[in-house]
Amino acid sequence: MCALKFLGRSKTRQSTILIAFVLVFGFCLTSDLYGQGKLGRVRETVRRHETPPSENTHHHQDNNSNEEKHRNHRSPQPCYGGGASLGSVFMTTPSFNNHRPQRIIHEHIHVVEPAPLALTEPGDETYFDQDVSDSIMLSQRPIVRPWENYFKTWSKRLTATYGSDFDEIAQGYFGLLLQSPGGFGLDTSVMMLRENSATFRDHLWIGDVNLVYEVINSSDFRARIGVGINWLGDSYGGDSGANLTSGFDWQLSPKWILTGETDFGNLGDSDLFRGELSIGRQFNNAEWTTGYRHTDIGGTSLGSVFTGFRFRF
């Protein structure tokens, strides 16, 4: 009797565990299928205004297209007047009765060989001045290109990092900053978010393009602010919005530099915030960096610890 009772209890426990496992697996499966991942929630908040087109709309469009085809259809018009008439063709020849000989006038052209010109260097611009006495003078002026030295003073920063939230989302980031000293510049970046689950895979592309102005420019600290646009792209389409950005680069020592950036704006129907802080070890123009990046889109947080390289020129 005791053995039978023990076997009955063990079967009950096994069935209970099996039912619980099926429920948990079914919940995970249905949540994944209905897009309950983080990137799925981001997509839903950004595109709340989009609704699928109704069948009545397609039916109305089909009717309009049929009416337009019927209206544009043209029946063949009868050809009145028959075909082309075949008449006699007369060819006229010029008359030679009134032909008069033409007078031929020969003009004598005197060719004067000018004196050889002096060769100039490739970097010089040569032009000629001719005065009243038809004398040719050779003058030289160097070509001045002021924008060449201006662009040489611009700083360039290229960033490539990889990060993860240690759960299911990985981030790949690429950024480019072109900055004139104490002037305007261009800041652009693109980030790929990839989510891997047990039953699905999802990805998004998020980026921005900003026009920035450097408000602080010193030997060890540079800060900038700017405005631009945000954009999001995936397999279903794309969305965009406005953006306010700010950033700084602080040279802590000859080998270490602290970098920070923030972005406030919107993306479709949701708000967007992105902030990051990193510290880098410089090796001449190359820099190994590591830090933390936090992205919030419509209340969905996408945090990431990242590492990578920057190149400064």
Q: Does the residue 185 lie in any domain?
A: yes
114: tokens are 């000018």
CA atoms in the 13 A half-sphere facing the CB of 108:
1
31: tokens are 């949540």
Model pLDDT, residue 16: 66
pLDDT per position as a tens digit, 216-227: 999 899 999 999
Q: Does the residue 45 lie in any domain?
A: no
CATH code of the domain covering residue 162: 2.40.160.40
pLDDT per position as a tens digit, 173-217: 999 999 999 999 999 999 999 998 888 889 999 999 999 999 999
pLDDT per position as a tens digit, 89-114: 444 444 444 555 555 555 555 555 55
Q: Does the residue 114 lie in any domain?
A: no
- pLDDT confidence tier of residue 38, bands split at 50, 70 and 90: confident
CB 250 within 8 Å of CB 221: yes
Q: Does the residue 34 lie in any domain?
A: no
Q: Does the residue 183 lie in any domain?
A: yes
Once rounded to an integer, what is the mean pLDDT over residues 129-145?
Answer: 51
- Domain span including residue 286: 154-312
Total domains, the chain: 1
Q: Does the residue 47 lie in any domain?
A: no
Q: pTM for the whole thing? A: 0.60
Once rounded to an integer, what is the mean pLDDT over residues 16-27?
Answer: 57
Q: Does the residue 268 lie in any domain?
A: yes
Quickly list DSSP for 205-263: EEEEEEEEEEEEE-SSEEEEEEEEEEEEEETTEEEEEEEEEEEEEEE-SSSEEEEEEEE
Once rounded to an integer, what is the mean pLDDT over residues 287-291?
Answer: 98
267: tokens are 């993306």
Q: Does the residue 120 lie in any domain?
A: no
